[in-house]
Amino acid sequence: MSEITITLPDGSQKQVPAGAKPIEIARSISARLADDAVVARVNGGLFDLTRPLEESASLEILTSKNPEALEVYRHSTAHLCAAAVLELFPGTQLGIGPPTEAGFYYDFQREAPFTPEDLEKIEAKMWEIQARDLPYERVMTQKDEGLRKYSDAWMKCGLIAEKADEYFSEYTLGPHFIDFCRGPHVPSTKRIKAFKLLMVSGAYWKANEKGARLQRITGTAFFSKKELDEYLHQVEEAKKRDHRKLGRELDLISIQELAGPGLIFWHPKGGIIRKQLEDWMREEYLKRGYSLVYTPHVGRWQLWETSGHANFYADNMFDRMELDDAEYQLKPMNCPFHILIYKDKLRSYRELPVRLGELGTVYRYERSGTLHGLLRVRGFTQDDAHIFCRPDQIEDEIVNCLQFAVDVLTTFGFDKYEAELSTWDGGASGKYDGEPEQWQLAEKALRNACERLNVAAKVMTDEAAFYGPKIDVKLVDAIGRKWQLSTVQFDFTLPRRFGLEYIADDGKAHQPVMCHRALFGSVERFFGILLEHYAGAFPVWLAPVQVAVLPIADRHLDYARSVAAALERAGLRVEVDDNKEKVNNKIRIAQVNKVPYMLVVGDREAENGTVSVRNRRHGDQGSKPLDEAVALIRGLAESRKPFE
């Protein structure tokens, strides 16, 4: 028997017989490693622990501490789920069953929908199969033979025809279950210790909404019961900070059925927070060389034909309305209006870049099933700006925009975000407007900007806007979903469509280039994400009520009001709780409403001109002279610092 050389991660080498399995090598290193092993990395690729090594290779044993091992483990759990479904519901068609960030899913096609009770049965069956300790066995099959074997399984057949090499791998689980699958998998079902099926929902075959409708069973799996329980607990906790729940509880916003879905009502307390956000943003605009403009909410249809939205954006627009002899369109975007301001006079190269900014409210038709609280609505206000500049200025402008976007995120304490660079499809589909050279140039400028600011942007092919490529910044909500906030978009197209010009130093007319950018993205969405980010406990500068003054008894009301007056003179938002309740109750109310500071006033305070300071997070801070308390809270508000 020939020997092969196995190189371990520490550089050491082992001679083993050809055909040795990674699990055997692991055991030869230590029994514990073999027990903890989930999957092997062989020459960089993932391998089953039980797959024989035929040639010399590098080998790394991945244990439960490795994220890739968790993916494999979840993938194996998905197979277990499919095997359970087939045992309980023979004839069900299998789609795909990959691991995801938070678990796994498996797509099935079957006439009757899976009910919550079915889910319980499936989970019980999974445990039953788990207990059988079935190996995940890798079998190689020849393509034509495979197509015959899977002739009853139309989705698998499709996948094999499309993806399989001449010989492809399958994995069995017991005598009856076999699945076309690249693998790898854990060695056997007894390795799967903790999982839970979470829901059943709809999906489309190959994510195509014209394709077959499937039922998706989603679950999660962890290496231990403890980790699973922690995860489930964390999900429950996250739900408590859902912006829809907090928005109602804190009386910030509402959505009114009578007015229509996806349309936001800002209540007084939400309104004051929004004003703080908007004031801050407008100040930043002015500091950074933007001008503020205001434009109408509707415009003639011809405007949208000129801009191209009539062609490229028709599906997302509210219906046109007729007025006199003309048709008008509610605006889904602000850009054409800002362009008209640019175009209203002859521009010199000396005044470029022109940066026109607006908190512009737009209306877009979003399909009913996609609406989601504040995060996906039909009417929203963008902190939108359009920058018109010379080609040689565009890269600096994009760098400034991106820097601005990063500054917004840090101001509000977001340290986790993802950047994406969306590019076109190369022009194949015709959904994109403009010349190839322009697209290439634009993409290059965006890439360079990312590099200059050290922003790691993931390239997303075929995700660009119809008028140009873009950089997007995404944040994650309480339930782990990603939402786009900032966007910096390049545009060669609209300047051409509108015939924009500036007079250059050569005395001739040239076409400016344009950058669209929104940093909050939409005020509604940003507010929703912010609400979840702070779990409703806003920092002092944003809190709708910054201070609650809590008199102990009625005889302290006058003093309480004088305290409130002093706070108001300092520009703070104050409420006096004059209910006939005990202080304990007043404190509770203020805590529940997440008021940052409570000032308790009773006999001692009224006598000494002091207040007893209570901090929302840290509780009783003892008494302080009134001036001192006012200065403290005002300082926090003005600094726009995070709370505490």
- Is the Cβ of residue 46 or residue 377 nearer to RNA in the bound state? 377
Q: Which of residues 72, 398, 442, 600 is near RNA by CB under 7 A?
A: 600
- Tell me which residues in 347-376 interact with RNA (CB under 7 A): 364, 366-373, 375-376
**Residues 386, 517, 533, 614: which is the catalytic one?**
386
Binding part of the chain for RNA, among 80-88, 280-288, 318-326, 585-593 by CB under 7 A, reads: 585-593
User: Per-residue string for binding with RNA, 490-529, x by CB under 7 A?
Assistant: ----------------------------x--xx-xx----
Least CB distance to RNA at residue 321 (A): 19
Residue 602 binding RNA, by CB under 7 A: yes
Residue 295 binding RNA, by CB under 7 A: no
Count of residues for the chain?
644
Q: For residue 540, what are its two tokens? A: 């002092």
Q: For residue 114, what are its two tokens? A: 């899976």
Residue 626 binding RNA, by CB under 7 A: no
- Across-strand partners of 383? 359
Q: Which residues contact 192 (CB under 8 A, 6 or more apart)?
A: 73, 76, 77, 80, 130, 186, 221
- Is the Cβ of residue 249 or residue 435 nearer to RNA in the bound state? 249
Cα–Cα distance, 191 to 179 (Å, whole number): 19
- Tell me which residues in 407-426 interact with RNA (CB under 7 A): none
Least CB distance to RNA at residue 620 (A): 4
Cα–Cα distance, 367 to 360 (Å, whole number): 22
Judge residue 243's burial from the number of C-beta atoms within 10 Å of its C-beta, 0-12 exposed, 13-18 middle, 19 or more buried. buried
**What is the total count of residues that contact RNA (CB under 7 A)?**
79
Q: Catalytic annotation on 516?
A: yes
Q: Which residues contact 151 (CB under 8 A, 6 or more apart)?
A: 157
In three-state secondary structure terms, 136 is: strand
Neighbours of 435 (CB within 10 A): 12
Cα–Cα distance, 562 to 317 (Å, whole number): 53
- Is the Cβ of residue 55 or residue 249 nearer to RNA in the bound state? 249
- Tell me which residues in 22-41 interact with RNA (CB under 7 A): none
DSSP state of 414: -
Q: Which of residues 172, 215, 329, 393 is near RNA by CB under 7 A?
A: 215
- Is the Cβ of residue 60 or residue 118 nearer to RNA in the bound state? 118
Q: Which residues contact 595 (CB under 8 A, 6 or more apart)?
A: 543, 545, 546, 547, 548, 575, 616
Residue 317 binding RNA, by CB under 7 A: no
Q: Catalytic annotation on 470?
A: yes
Q: For residue 116, what are its two tokens? A: 């919550």
Binding part of the chain for RNA, among 50-58, 150-158, 258-266, 503-511 by CB under 7 A, reads: 258-266
DSSP state of 636: H
Q: Catalytic annotation on 48?
A: no
- Across-strand partners of 144? none
- Tell me which residues in 552-571 interact with RNA (CB under 7 A): 552-555
Binding part of the chain for RNA, among 10-18, 123-131, 300-308, 478-486 by CB under 7 A, reads: 478-486
Binding part of the chain for RNA, among 140-148, 160-168, 288-296, 593-601 by CB under 7 A, reads: 593-601
- Is the Cβ of residue 283 or residue 603 nearer to RNA in the bound state? 603
494 neighbors 308 (Cβ within 8 angstroms): yes
Q: Catalytic annotation on 267?
A: no
- Is the Cβ of residue 24 or residue 463 nearer to RNA in the bound state? 463
616 neighbors 604 (Cβ within 8 angstroms): no
Rounded to 5 degrees, what are φ and ψ at 575? -130, 140
User: Per-residue string for binding with RNA, 175-214, x by CB under 7 A?
Assistant: ------------------------xxxxxx--xxx---x-
Least CB distance to RNA at residue 454 (A): 22
DSSP state of 351: G
**Residues 185, 191, 355, 364: which is the catalytic one?**
364
Q: Catalytic annotation on 367?
A: no
DSSP state of 480: S
Residue 139 binding RNA, by CB under 7 A: no
Q: Which of residues 472, 491, 575, 577 is near RNA by CB under 7 A?
A: 472
- Is the Cβ of residue 527 or residue 541 nearer to RNA in the bound state? 527
User: Per-residue string for binding with RNA, 109-128, x by CB under 7 A?
Assistant: ----x-x-------------
CA distances from 357 to 144, 284, 286, 382, 551 (A): 61, 11, 9, 10, 46
Cα–Cα distance, 539 to 558 (Å, whole number): 29
- Is the Cβ of residue 248 or residue 390 nearer to RNA in the bound state? 248
> If DSSP states are collapsed to H, E and C, what string results for 211-273?
CCEEEEEEEEEECCHHHHHHHHHHHHHHHHCCHHHHHHHCCCEEECCCCCCCCEEECHHHHHH
Cα–Cα distance, 574 to 597 (Å, whole number): 10
Residue 580 binding RNA, by CB under 7 A: yes
Q: Catalytic annotation on 389?
A: no
Residue 240 binding RNA, by CB under 7 A: no
Q: Catalytic annotation on 384?
A: yes
Least CB distance to RNA at residue 272 (A): 20
Residues recognised as catalytic = 335, 364, 382, 384, 386, 470, 516
